[in-house]
Structure 1
Amino acid sequence: MVLATLKLMSAMNWLAKPPVPLSLVNEVLFSIIHFDELTSTNDYIKNNYRLLPDVSLIRADYQSAGRGQFSRNWESNRGQNLLVSLLLKTGINDLSVHSYEEQVRNSLISLLDFYGVNAHIKLPNDIFVGDRKISGILIETKQIAGVYEYLIIGIGLNVGQTEFPDYLNATSIALQSPLKIYLEDVFNKFISMLEVNLAPLLTKTP
């Protein structure tokens, strides 16, 4: 694990003061790289995707310039919510983009259901509890000469935060669930559900 982290940092030494990972974990289906702070998990991948494993998940405790759909800001308190982006580089086409997006949404709905939160999808990629937003997904792709370089699925999920500005009209698992909520437990459960839902797609990848 330490060697993998050192290799990643060595490959990134051209960056000015690159962010240092808190940890790097190789799961069965993808690598997880965890940072204390990034401007945006999606932006980090876009700047470094050539150096990252084909299937990677980038996590940050805080985003200084988080983004949602339509260039809106994604606001989140430090260390209280789930801020991750999934990178996929192989076997990407128009059909698989839709399939991966759908399975990420399904994983989030299943996760919320596990914690007793009755949520629904508001197309294209928001998840609401009643009339309050609890999660959002940001899809970004890059093509060169019609061939996909990558698919990035950014995910923001309000977990432990209990106070939001009125204009956000937001809620969180902690506000909606009858259970005691711990961010690491939520993250680990999400990873387990994501692996189950993505496995059939990833095993099809040539």
Structure 2
Amino acid sequence: MKKEILKLLKDSREVFVSGENISENFGVSRTTIWKCINQLKEEGYDIESISKRGYRLLSCPDVLTYEEIEDKLVTDRLGRTIIHFDSLESTNITAKELALDAAHGTVVISEEQTNGKGRLGRNFVSPKGKGVWMSIIMKPCIDPMKVSLLTQIAAAAVNMALSDINIESLIKWPNDIIINNKKVCGILTEMSCELTMVNFVVLGIGINVNVDASDFGEDISKIATSLKLEVGMEIDRKKLVARILNNLENLYDDYIEREDIKKSISICREKSILIGKEIRVIRKGIEINARALELKEDGSLVVEYEDGKHEALISGEVSIRGKKSYV
């Protein structure tokens, strides 16, 4: 009932809705309405209540619940179920626990992560209410060997979403989004599979949206930034989440349903921060100098080593760094 009342207040944003009208619409008592209104206020909704006039919604809290994102979504499946938490150790951990029973497109999202992880077990700073920390449960009918491409599809979707709000970014193969040579977003793809069948994929996306400089440690601040720090203003997290999911569903459907990866790879290639640059290839702790040459249609990064040998790198246990810095 609370959700229905909230939707009614949102649909009548500029005017008061009387308790009598709400009671008639939903067939509930005035006491039930009053309890729901109080619950919404406790959740951060600013609702004006005036005797004999009713209720009017003045503002909504900055939380990433389905009720706050729904009206911005144009997806069929992605984000149509959002499981929202105030705090989690890691959205990927929780998503993996829920994945077998969850529908494709279910999103686990948290206002903070207390132990967020990136690729190869690296820590990911995730302060409360200042970022987008979400994991999307997917159930693609593809060979497990092709799952790594979903990381680049996600990178393309995030890049597109940022471009939609006039923020230009670059992609560091295979899973980082970069602004001004610093990381603003990381993507972590994990899966459960059989020999030739994928049970589920959990696509984790962590974005430093309104993170302040003081939230980063001294070491992290050298390689990480936030959208707020780069553009000088706070970013609407709800709109950003919706744009990512909208773009991601289109690119995902191109790949899974139409076997077309060209748009995603084209974006990752055009927005690459690595292609043409001197880099370090790090494998099992060993660093080798190379030059990034191209991104192939299968998502592999072609590099040329100092001895002239070429190799097509597949994302996984390989890390890429700039010649003397992060990028």
TM-score (norm. length: structure 1): 0.78
Partner of 1:189: 243
Percent of aligned pairs with the same amino acid: 25
Partner of 1:157: 207
Are 1:28 and 2:76 an aligned pair?
Answer: yes
Partner of 1:166: 218
Partner of 1:49: 99
Q: Is the 1:92–1:150 contact (alpha carbons within 8 Å) kept by the matching residues of 2?
A: no
Query: CA offset at residue 191 of structure 1?
Result: 2.3
Structure 1 residues 180 and 77 mapped into 2: Cα distance closer, same or farther (>3 Å)? closer
Partner of 1:132: 182
Structure 1 residue runs without a partner (length 5+): 3-21
Q: Is the 1:34–1:58 contact (alpha carbons within 8 Å) kept by the matching residues of 2?
A: yes
Q: What CA distance in whole angstroms lies between the structure 2 residues aligned with 1:145 and 1:197?
A: 26
Q: What CA distance in whole angstroms lies between the structure 2 residues aligned with 1:79 and 1:195?
A: 25
- Helix, strand or coil at the partner of 2:123: coil
Query: CA offset at residue 98 of structure 1?
Result: 3.7
Structure 1 residues 75 and 180 mapped into 2: Cα distance closer, same or farther (>3 Å)? closer
Q: What CA distance in whole angstroms lies between the structure 1 residues aligned with 2:173 and 2:99?
A: 28
Q: Is the 2:148–2:189 contact (alpha carbons within 8 Å) kept by the matching residues of 1?
A: no
Runs of 4+ in 1 over 6 A off after TM superposition: none
**Which structure has the bigger radius of gyration?**
2
Deviations 1:103-127 (A, max 9, x none): 2111111122223332211122111
1:28 counterpart letter in structure 2: D
1:55 counterpart letter in structure 2: G
Q: What CA distance in whole angstroms lies between the structure 1 residues aligned with 2:113 and 2:183?
A: 18
TM-score (norm. length: structure 2): 0.51
> How much is the aligned-residue C-alpha RMSD, in angstroms?
2.7
Q: Is the 1:115–1:179 contact (alpha carbons within 8 Å) kept by the matching residues of 2?
A: no
Q: What CA distance in whole angstroms lies between the structure 2 residues aligned with 1:192 and 1:147?
A: 26
Query: CA offset at residue 87 of structure 1?
Result: 1.2
Q: What CA distance in whole angstroms lies between the structure 1 residues aligned with 2:101 and 2:147?
A: 21
Partner of 1:106: 156
Q: Is the 1:116–1:177 contact (alpha carbons within 8 Å) kept by the matching residues of 2?
A: no
Are 1:38 and 2:92 an aligned pair?
Answer: no
Query: CA offset at residue 90 of structure 1?
Result: 3.7
Query: CA offset at residue 48 of structure 1?
Result: 1.9
Q: What CA distance in whole angstroms lies between the structure 1 residues aligned with 2:205 and 2:255?
A: 19
Q: Is the 1:134–1:171 contact (alpha carbons within 8 Å) kept by the matching residues of 2?
A: yes
Query: CA offset at residue 188 of structure 1?
Result: 2.2
Structure 1 residues 101 and 174 mapped into 2: Cα distance closer, same or farther (>3 Å)? same
Query: CA offset at residue 95 of structure 1?
Result: 5.9
Q: What CA distance in whole angstroms lies between the structure 2 residues aligned with 1:132 and 1:94?
A: 31
Q: Is the 1:84–1:154 contact (alpha carbons within 8 Å) kept by the matching residues of 2?
A: yes
Structure 1 residues 96 and 145 mapped into 2: Cα distance closer, same or farther (>3 Å)? closer
Query: CA offset at residue 35 of structure 1?
Result: 1.6
1:109 counterpart letter in structure 2: N
Structure 1 residues 101 and 150 mapped into 2: Cα distance closer, same or farther (>3 Å)? same
Deviations 1:101-151 (A, max 9, x none): 222111111122223332211122111112211000111112234422111
Q: Is the 1:87–1:150 contact (alpha carbons within 8 Å) kept by the matching residues of 2?
A: yes
